[in-house]
Amino acid sequence: MKPAFRAVVLPLFLGGPLAARAQQPVAPSKITISGYVRDAATGENLIGVAVVNPGTGQGTATNTYGFYSLTLPATDSVRLVASYLGYERLRWAAATTRNVAHDFRLRAASSELAGVEVVGNRQERIEQSTRMGTINVPIAQIKNLPKLFGETDVLKVLQLLPGVQSGGEGQSGLYVRGGSPDQNLILLDGTPVYNAAHLFGFFSVFNADALNNVELIKGGFPARYGGRLSSVLDISMKEGNMQEFHGEGAIGIVASKITLEGPIKKDTASFIISARRTYLDVLAQPFIKSQLSAEGTRGSVGYFFHDLNAKLNWKVSSRDRLYLSAYTGYDKFYARIRDKDEGAENYSRTDGNLGWGNLTSGLRWNHIVNDQLFMNTHLTYSKYQFNVGAGEERRYNNQGDVRTDKFSLRYFSNIRDFSLKTDFDYTPTPDHYIRFGGQYILHSFRPGALTAKDNASDLESQLNSGNRTMASEVGLYAEDDYRLTDRLKVNGGLRLNGFLVEGKFYPSVEPRLAARFLLTEEWALKASYARTTQFIHLLTNSGIGLPTDLWVPATKQIKPQRAQQVSVGAARTLRFKDEDYEVSFESYYKPMRNLVEYREGASFLGTVDSDWESKVTSGNGWAYGGEFFVQKKSGRTTGWIGYTLAWSNRRFPDLNQGRIFPYKYDRRHDVSVVAIHRFSPTFTLSGTWVYGTGNATTLSQGRFTLGGYDQFDDYGERNSYRMAAYHRFDLDLSKTKKKKWGEVVNSFSIYNVYSRRNPYYLYFDPGYTDYQGNEVKPVYRQISLFPIIPSFSKAFKF
């Protein structure tokens, strides 16, 4: 039995003594160099840094927590080079014949070097990596792209990548390779985020100033990820500057934000806290009050959202580090309108509110077990909930009898998770990078509770108790990134999942395999296969805007979603005029089973009189297509060009008469062009252009009357009509000014430069006959949201 296999399989599945096995002495013929790679100025761990022995070409990369381990043949001395895009390359040499712990501290490359060309090498060339469908977008690049209302949005940038689509005009939802939003595993510091949208979907919940790394995985999923069908969005927060106090922030049209970070004890403990809030409600309030006063009423109407990120980082010892992180975000829409004279006999009051938000928290322990084995243990809590409330009071004089009628309605829904996860990274040789671990999740679902009170009819009813459903999910995994030969490298793994709900147990065996084969030194062929299972569903209304989607579990009646994805492709790095261009092509096929949709005419409010399971139907789906991607990551001009040709179809026995129909976001063609040009270290111009086939929708093909009164629409096949194509051009111009205390960045953005009227939704205008007897024919009309929108924001650092 091979040593690498024994180190993973025996401890994981046979319960062998892991620590004892891992801590056996390294053979005298080899030595191991291990440690962390950090930013020299901030102490921030750097992810994916290449650490290479230049003499032999053997190397590794830092993991999610900045740790590396490299085992080499024993010699009288060792030489290593650490390189990372945007940082100066750092060399280290030492005379040693034993294991050594060494931390690298990389300095950010000066933007004034080499005509503002960013120096440093990519940590791993695209043709060398076994992974497919994985894209890392630098935070600095995200901040440089055009902004809607002056707000930097991580998810809107990801929508510019091939295989990723938006839900519609201005929306921040992600539809990856034909999947729905619930099929994306969104992790913030390893904790799941169930709703990533603010402002009815127009902004995401992620404050870019608080983030360190953003990685999107669309296919070829490693075994360490599970629980979703379509993608993994892994976002890491900053850890806090361990050297000195710093801050940054921005003031925009709709929101402002501030981030503060610094050492609690230098080189030992640090903190970061970041906050953001909109002030639309404050700015609009004088106008709203004036309008209400003109109508003879008073009160307030408004909307706002806020975010708060916080993190503590404590270096307990050279081998141990603790992190405590939390995020909370909330959206609230409110309306409070009442008559001016509260003492009048005739008086009315109306209240309404809609609120939704996330709360996540995590306690993480990093421990270096030995020079080759790294452990991460993570305890997390996550909650998403929304509330809908309405109330009304009417006081009136009924023939001398003053009466007061009061009515109130409240709808509430949430999902909560408690999770414990332990991961191990084991690097016995440069040819093996082994990961294994396990996770337990306790889910708590409350799909909906509705309470109504009405004193006029003596009604006080809990129409739906909203009973909780508890479920347990467990997962075990092992994977190895293994270099078989100089040309062939594979990542093979296995994930075992189980889900227990209402006494029903659903097992899942999920093999994962990805491979790359070098045809030449520049060209690589790649292929991957992944089987995935999702034990939770999102019941999504066909309407727009409101966050009234319900998270529900698989049950005895509703099976878990399952999918398989096969991908093949090719990749290479082209060098043109001393600059690198990454070129890749991927094609994929993804069949999906046990997808869930509302039955015709059902919605979340329909769950108040019966169980939600009776309101849904299950079916299957298929998604397939091809993606082309060219990306340039260094030099004066950076950016990418992406093109996607895709199909996504669904089939439900109880919908569309059982016939196959296109998914709402089936989009045949998607094009994105992104460019960022630095004229100087202080002057940057960026632009994006996107094009997409119009969304599919269902329209009435006619209207008929029964009994001379009731009118009914005659709908054709589901999603058989295409809205107009979507396309848009955005620009951003940024100027940086150096100050004694830091710097100020003034950004001017133009959203939708040529003011394209993109469709948001269609509505039916029934037509009419005017006073002259002229008939205006019935017609569908298009609603568009955003014309050309200029915006200005001011960011600062100190």
What tokens were used for 427?
Answer: 């690097």
Taking residue 705's Cβ as centre, other Cβ atoms within 10 Å add up to: 9
CA torsion, ordered 386, 387, 388, 393, to nearest 10 deg: -170
- pTM for the whole thing? 0.87
The pair of structure tokens assigned to 282 is: 């404050």
Whether the CA torsion 279, 280, 283, 288 is positive or negative: it is negative
- Cβ proximity of 741 and 706 under 8 Å: no
- Number of helices followed by number of strands (H, E) in the chain: 5, 51
Q: Is the pLDDT of residue 39 over 70?
A: yes
pLDDT of 122 over the 60 cut = no
At 564, the pLDDT band (50, 70, 90 cuts) reads: very high
Residues with Cβ within 8 Å of residue 460, at least 6 apart in sequence: 452, 453, 454
Confidence band, pLDDT 50/70/90 cuts, at residue 412: confident
265 vs 465: CA distance, rounded Å: 50
Single-letter residue type at 620: N
Among all chains, which residue has been given the structure tokens 């040009």? Answer: 677
CA-CA distances (angstroms) from residue 400 to 346, 395, 403, 457, 544?
12, 12, 9, 21, 47
Q: pLDDT tens-digit profile of 224-276?
A: 999 999 999 999 999 999 999 999 999 988 889 999 999 999 989 999 999 99
Average pLDDT, the chain: 85
Q: Are 546 and 92 in contact (CB under 8 A)?
A: no
SS3 for 286-319 is HHHHHHHHHCCEEEEEEEEEEEEEEEEEEECCCC
Q: Which run of H or E residues covers position 139? A: helix 139-144
How confident is the model at residue 127, as a pLDDT? 76
Summarize pLDDT for 485-542 with one digit per residue, the tens: 989 999 999 999 999 999 999 999 999 999 999 998 889 999 999 999 999 998 876 5
What pLDDT shows up at residue 610?
Answer: 52
Q: Which pLDDT score, from 0 to 100, does residue 705 have?
A: 63
Encode 596-644 in three state secondary structure.
EEECCCCCHHHHHCCCHHHHEEEEEEEEEEEEEEEEECCCCEEEEEEEE
Q: What does the pLDDT read at residue 731?
A: 94
Retrieve residue 402's tokens: 């003053």
Tokens of 79: 């030489």
CA quadruple 596, 597, 602, 603: dihedral positive or negative? positive
Q: How far apart are CA 353 and CA 174, in angstroms?
A: 27
Q: Which residue in 416, 447, 683, 644 sits closest to 549, CA to CA? A: 447
Closest Cα partner for 226 from 532, 493, 589, 623? 532
> Does residue 27 carry a pLDDT above 50?
no
**What domains does the chain contain, in order, with CATH numbers?**
3-106 (2.60.40.10), 134-797 (2.40.170.20)
- In the chain, what's the furthest Cα-to-Cα distance? 105
State the residue for tokens 């270290």: 681
Quick: pLDDT tens for 275-299: 999 987 887 788 888 887 887 788 8
